[in-house]
């Protein structure tokens, strides 16, 4: 395990899945840094959308909604 932590070896995908299962988290969680509260993330997205034209904002929001719905169906 320390070889993985120190970057000496790269774990195989199955090993990452096993580690994630043991920690009761997703494999993505193994690579994430401390997460900001959802409200901060939403505010960041809103800040990024504000300068864009209204029609582009609507298109991007639609894409996000579609992505969330797709991911929800997979879970």
Say if residues 49 and 60 touch (Cβ distance below 8 Å): yes
pLDDT value, residue 57 = 92
Instruction: Give pTM, 2 decimals.
Output: 0.47
Backbone angles phi, psi at 37, to 5 degrees: -55, 150
Are residue 24 and residue 51 in the same domain, yes or no? no
Q: How many domains does the chain fold into?
A: 2
Q: How confident is the model over 20-33, as pLDDT tens digits?
A: 888 888 888 887 77
Are residue 40 and residue 27 in the same domain, yes or no? no
Say if residues 3 and 19 touch (Cβ distance below 8 Å): no
CA distance 14 to 26: 13
Are residue 40 and residue 75 in the same domain, yes or no? yes
Are residue 22 and residue 42 in the same domain, yes or no? no
Are residue 50 and residue 19 in the same domain, yes or no? no
Are residue 27 and residue 58 in the same domain, yes or no? no
Cα angle: 31, vertex 37, 38; to 5 degrees? 95
Domain that holds residue 72: 34-75
């Amino acid at each position: 395990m320390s070889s993985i932590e120190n970057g000496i070896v790269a774990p195989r995908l199955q090993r990452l899945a096993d580690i994630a299962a043991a920690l009761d988290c997703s494999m993505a969680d193994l690579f994430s840094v401390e997460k900001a509260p959802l409200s901060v993330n939403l505010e960041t997205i809103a800040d990024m959308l504000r300068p864009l034209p209204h029609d582009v904002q609507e298109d991007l929001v639609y894409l996000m909604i579609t992505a969330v719905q797709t991911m929800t169906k997979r879970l």
